[in-house]
Structures are given as structure tokens and as C-alpha cells.
Amino acid sequence: MSHVFTLPERPAAAIAGSAETFPVGRIICIGRNYEAHAREMGTDPAREAPFFFTKWADALAPNGATIPYPSETANYHFEAELVIAIGKEGAKVNEADALGLVFGYAVGLDMTRRDVQLEAREKGRPWDTGKNFAFSAPMAAIRPVAEGHIASGPIQLRVNGDLKQDGDIRDLIWDCAETIAYVSRFERLLPGDLIFTGTPAGVGAVVPGDVIEVTIAGLEPLTVTIGEREADFA
């Protein structure tokens, strides 16, 4: 059977030290997973269970990319994140077995139209237009889990060399195993899934020309440049 058109090749992430790539299926993002960030966003993390939202795989952007300042926002924010790359299938896994699904870890960014997100939140609407759009998920190369799991270590973000976010992976409210187990209760995890685990405090706005650098101890650093603004519709 023939198709009326051919879909583009699926997005793929680089793997550190390898010519092979990691085909990306879904991007699952954990919200408010650091206490200080939850409080800076006006919520109390002690009062809620984990929750997550999604991005299309097409939102992926490679290390070193220049990503456009998106349309329909005047408050474009960075959020530095540890990313879990899933390499094995699993549903309703327990915490003791959860890390067995991990292929590796990477440094990522959850770029956000903050004004659009907050307007949707205030109206009780989904966050899609604030979170899920082209180039909103930059990511560095994945470090395979054979080199060890990530449970602690500095996570830092700089804009034009100035330190903006400075946290530690050990401060995740729900650690990697807990996060994988929780998500797998609601959705069968598949090879190719990426889980963005949340961001520490210090999120803020960027403008065209800014250079964002994100580092997590033991992982390949991520650098992206904010490009020119995409045109809004009149």
C-alpha cells in the first residue's frame, strides 16, 4: 500500500562517544520537581503528587543550535533539566526496577512561553501552547547508563556567562526511579521516550542574541543561542 506523502525522518538525539543515534518517540516533562522552583512559581510542592505534560518529539533541538525566539510570547523562559533516556519497555514498574529501563542521561532545556503558560494555568486550560512548540526541547548528547546513574551533582545554567540557575540533582522531589515508576503507572514507557525531570529555581527570560549554557556534572554540556523572533500574525 502506498501513502499520499512520506513523513520526515523521526527526530533522533546524539549519543556521546558513538556514531549511532537515539531515535526519539515521546518527550514527557515533569512539572515542579524542585521545591524552590515550585515555590517561585507560586505553588506548594508538599500539596501535590507528581504531574507531567508532553512535548512532540519534533520539539527536539540539537546541541549548538540557534533556536528562534517563538511567536506569540513576550516572556520566553529557560528551564535547565536532567533528561532520562528510556531504552526498555515498561508499564507499572516498581521503583526498585525502574532504573533498569534507563538507556542513559543527558542535559536538556524545557523552553517555555511563560506568559502563555501562566494564562492557560489561570484559566484551567492545558499548557500545550506554552510548552509544546518547535525547538522547545534542546538536548545535548546522551551519556549511556553503562557509565553510571545520575543521583546527585550540580545542575547549572548560565546566560551570556552569568549564573542564573544553580541546583543539585539530589534535590529532586521525585528522584529518577520514583519518576519513572510514577509515569509508567499512566503510560507504558517505550524505548525512545525521553523524560525531562524538572528544573531548579532561578528560571528567567531570554532575548534574541542570548547564549544559554547548561551543565550537569558528568554529562556533556548543552549550549544554544536564541535567534531572531519569529513573526506573529497580524
Q: What are the residues whose beta carbons fall under 8 Å from the beta carbon of 30, sequence distance 6 or more?
A: 50, 51, 52, 174, 179, 183, 195, 196, 197, 198
CA distance 118 to 77: 12
Whole-angstrom CA distances from 93 to 25, 28, 31 are 19, 17, 21
**Is residue 3 situated within a structural domain?**
no
Q: CA 122 from chain center: how many Å?
A: 23
Tens digit of each residue's pLDDT (9 = 90 or more) over 208-219: 999 999 999 999
The cell for 169 is 540533582
For residue 165, CA distances in Å to 120, 136, 202, 218 come to 25, 18, 5, 17
Q: 107 in a domain, yes or no?
A: yes
For residue 7, being part of any structural domain is answered with: no
Containing domain of residue 64, as a range? 12-229
Q: What share of the chain is helix, strand, coil (3-state, %, to 5)?
A: 20, 35, 45
Where the chain has pLDDT below 50, the residues are none
CA gap 35, 106 in Å, rounded = 22
Please indicate, yes or no, if residue 30 is contained in any of the structural domains.
yes
Instruction: Specify the CATH number for the domain of residue 38.
Output: 3.90.850.10
Identify the pLDDT of residue 100.
98
Considering the domain boundaries, does residue 5 fall inside one? no
Residue 6 lies in a domain: no
* Domain count for the chain: 1
The answer to whether residue 1 is domain-embedded is no
Residue 210 CA to chain centroid, in angstroms?
Answer: 19
Look at residue 118 and tell me if it is in a domain: yes
How far apart CA 151 and CA 76 sit, in angstroms, is: 29
pLDDT of 74 reads: 96
